[in-house]
Structure 1
Amino acid sequence: MDRSSERWPGAAEVPQWTDKYFSRTADVVRRFGDVSVTYAVFMRRPVLYAPRLALGWLRHVTEERGTEVVVDSLYKEGEWVGAGEPMVTLTGSFMALSELETLFLQKLGACCVAAYNAFHMCMDLPGVAFLAMDARHCAGTEMADLMAYAASVGGKRARRKGEAKGFIGNATDATAHYFDRAEGSGTMPHSLIGYAGSTVRAAEMFHETHPDVDLVVLVDYFGREISDALAVCRRFPELAAQGRLGVRLDTHGGRYVEGLDTQSSYDVLERNARDAIRGYRSETELRYLIGTGVSAAALWHMRETLDHAGFPRTRIIASSGFSPAKCRVMAYAKAPVDVIGTGSYLPENWNETYATADIIAYDGKPRVKVGREFLLQRRPEAVRPPT
């Protein structure tokens, strides 16, 4: 069974997965007479409009059910939408649409928030390429499909608006098409380092198996980020010179990168980004600058070391908690990172992802519950009252 976001659930499964009160409402309308209704869909916070999968599912399931829905998108994909502004209206049979509301909203809200987050991360770091590494943080394959799509929407808007590199790829083959790729990106997890017994040996094994794939090597497994990065560069000097070698920093927050502590982290930033350490606004931002894990100081420390050793073209790939907030800090620290792998554009506050749909017209006559009259300000001409 095809369980992609645009296909699942199918028409036969809709009654099992929708809210029961919608199914019972459909029963009532079937008994007392159907009407045409218009739903307005909105969110309570600013978002980027990312409707493709929700609308694709709606189109698919209504075709299966033999019903028609008129869709009026009030924005284009990737456009900014303000809090409370209707994004799209759906007009059709009340009996048919009632059961579809729950599932449509599931596929819309989180995408719009994730796209918004992805966009701002890319805009803060326009010179950095991003990889969507969200799959392992998703609650199942359908969510992974939605989140990869969202990253692509945010990344494309950043390329249009800010000449940013944006999201250039992702982790899985199934969702690579959103980034115009045939397959997912990525080289090795920590488990391969453990299997090989050394960072250099893992790099050798990977390169022998995948010689045509650029070599990106995790260097934090043994807590020797600097030593192992240099050892890999010396083992593969040709790849380093060609820009086909990268070192990935994924140090967890329980310790400093090799060679750093609090004072030396301050020193690194004093040499490379003096204004950053004077501009932090919270303890969290200070931690991103000079704390444990993959800090701005850690990235500058790695860049200094590689350059001094004669490997200026070796790329630095960073991961580990790169949220919108962390990306903002990296921007004003001018952190020397080439690629960021992140799943942290996924919404942190899930209640912000709730899309809401209200009926604003019955048989073309405007009617909406008290408190939602603002939805009548933007609606299709077909449901506006005559002047």
Structure 2
Amino acid sequence: MIDQPPADDATARAAHLHDGLRRFPPELFQFDARIRTGWLSDRYFVRTASTLRHAGRDPVVTMQVFAKQAGVLAGVYEAVRLFQTQLAEGYDPADLRIRTLLEGDAVNAAGSDAWEPVMHITGCYRGFAHLETPVLGVLARRSLIASNTRIVVDAAAGKPVIFMAPRHDDWRVQTPDGYAAQIGGVQSVSSDAAGAWWGARGVGTMPHAMIAAFGGDTVAATLAFARYLRGEEPGVQLMSLVDYENDSVRTALEVARAIRAEFGDGVLSAVRVDTSERLIDASLIGDPEVWGRARLTGVNSYLVRKMRAALDAEGFHYVGIVASGGFTPSKIRRFEGEGVPVVAYGVGSSLLGHSDPASGLLNDFDFTADLVRVDDRPEGKIGRTFRENPRLVPVDWAQLI
């Protein structure tokens, strides 16, 4: 797990940066060898370096990186390792000076200046001109996910959030996405790849596909799953998915009874309900207490409370309820404010920016870089000047050898 960065103490912040970088060596990121050739860069940066070489110029510049949104910064270790290992041929990272905010720092927080600098890079421009594209991309993607995750984690008020986003994007981004989610505060991810950079294994209940493979019998699937876990993965907690037939209260009770009958109390740790937003669970249809009086589609507070009461009535107080499917920060805050008895939330695609802006989550997190000094003289386009940031920490390459 990555510790939260110190807020103010410069010495502690410097130690935090270098401790983190030592835990994230360059080889961990498996950088594409073509990065240093400019193949993955916007072509205009490659041509800029070529033009400078042709003109016999190699100015020492300061590049200033800033974010356009408020949120949580992530991707710092990866960006620093890019500068360390992917400079153009003939350039030494020891000659490059980097000052940076820390992994997990808040940026553009309330009360701070807009477009707060998150990184200053000073060195011969031909050596790193081509790195602007991949560095900004790394910071943008990681910070988007870390920021969205932090919003959801804060809404959950201490209850665990499971990062269930891998199925919603290209498999090649699972590992860095999962890492960014951890920076944002999740403790669990749904795939091993998503936890690879911070030593976590994928968690999960069971998919609807497992139930389908057992002929649509949730009880049979859960019993088989329990037998497998006890024999092959004894340290994994047993959770069952109970909305397959859209009768979650009945199914949860049937599963809990069957597990108790075969294995005893305390074995079933939780049930997960994932009812579609287009459906009303059968247990609520015609219920005189709520029917016609409330919006009942999807996973809602009435369904969770009814399930909790039914489980408790038969002595299954130890079986938690995990909610997933369309959970936004506002919905989670509503659940928490109303004291809905959920023990954890599973959240997926919205953490990647696949969400309605009204959800309270970000759809993008853009970074921009500008040259603001050239050969020790102020230089930059109108509106973009060098700005100091006392929170920036210098990278000491000697500590990373």
Do the two structures share a fold, i.e. TM-score over 0.5? Answer: yes
Shift of 1:5: 8.2
2:259 and 2:267 in contact (8 A); partners too: no
Shift of 1:179: 4.8
Change (3 A) 1:372 1:86: same
Compare relative contact order (CA 8 Å, sep 6+) and give the higher one, 1 or 2. 2
- The reply on whether 1:229 has 2:229 as its aligned counterpart is no
Match of 2:265 in 1: 241
- The reply on whether 1:90 has 2:96 as its aligned counterpart is no
Give, as a single letter, the amino acid of the residue that structure 2 aligns with 1:152.
Q
2:175 and 2:195 in contact (8 A); partners too: no
Match of 1:154 in 2: 184
| Cα distance per residue 1:312-359 (max 9 Å; x no partner) | 110111111222232222222222111212122222467632211111
Change (3 A) 1:243 1:316: farther
Deviates more, 1:243-252 or 1:187-196: 243-252
| Cα distance per residue 1:78-120 (max 9 Å; x no partner) | 1211041111111222112211111111111121122122112
Structure-to-structure mapping, 1:22-101, within 5 angstroms: 22-32=45-55, 33-50=57-74, 51-62=76-87, 66-68=91-93, 69-73=96-100, 75-82=101-108, 83-101=114-132
Match of 2:344 in 1: 339
Match of 1:159 in 2: none
SS in 1 for 2:303: helix
Deviates more, 1:344-353 or 1:97-106: 344-353
Structure-to-structure mapping, 1:1-387, within 5 angstroms: 6-11=29-34, 14-32=37-55, 33-50=57-74, 51-62=76-87, 66-68=91-93, 69-73=96-100, 75-82=101-108, 83-141=114-172, 143-155=173-185, 167-181=186-200, 183-197=201-215, 198-211=217-230, 212=234, 213-237=236-260, 241-242=265-266, 244-261=268-285, 266=290, 290-343=295-348, 344-347=350-353, 348=355, 352-373=364-385, 375-378=386-389
Give the CA RMSD over aligned residues. Answer: 2.9
| Cα distance per residue 1:280-307 (max 9 Å; x no partner) | xxxxxxxxx8441112222222212211
Change (3 A) 1:146 1:241: same
Aligned mates of 1:144, 1:87 — CA distance in 2:
25
SS in 1 for 2:29: coil
Shift of 1:28: 0.7
Deviates more, 1:27-36 or 1:5-14: 5-14
Aligned mates of 1:294, 1:40 — CA distance in 2:
46
1:168 and 1:179 in contact (8 A); partners too: no
Aligned mates of 1:265, 1:367 — CA distance in 2:
69
SS in 1 for 2:61: strand
Shift of 1:10: 2.3
- For structure 1, the 5+ residue unaligned runs are 156-166, 271-288, 383-387
| Cα distance per residue 1:221-256 (max 9 Å; x no partner) | 111211111011001127673264211111111111
SS in 2 for 1:53: helix
SS in 1 for 2:364: helix
Give, as a single letter, the amino acid of the residue that structure 2 aligns with 1:254.
R
Change (3 A) 1:101 1:191: same
2:63 and 2:369 in contact (8 A); partners too: yes
Shift of 1:57: 3.2
Match of 1:273 in 2: none
Shift of 1:22: 0.9
Give, as a single letter, the amino acid of the residue that structure 1 aligns with 2:220.
R
1:233 and 1:240 in contact (8 A); partners too: no
2:249 and 2:310 in contact (8 A); partners too: yes
Aligned mates of 2:301, 2:47 — CA distance in 1:
55
Higher helix share: 1
Percent of aligned pairs sharing the same letter: 29
Q: In the comparison of the two structures, how many residue pairs are matched?
A: 346
Deviates more, 1:57-66 or 1:245-254: 57-66
Aligned mates of 1:244, 1:20 — CA distance in 2:
56
Deviates more, 1:197-206 or 1:10-19: 10-19
Give, as a single letter, the amino acid of the residue that structure 1 aligns with 2:98.
V
Change (3 A) 1:104 1:257: same
Shift of 1:188: 1.5
Aligned mates of 2:286, 2:87 — CA distance in 1:
59
Change (3 A) 1:381 1:12: closer
Shift of 1:372: 2.0
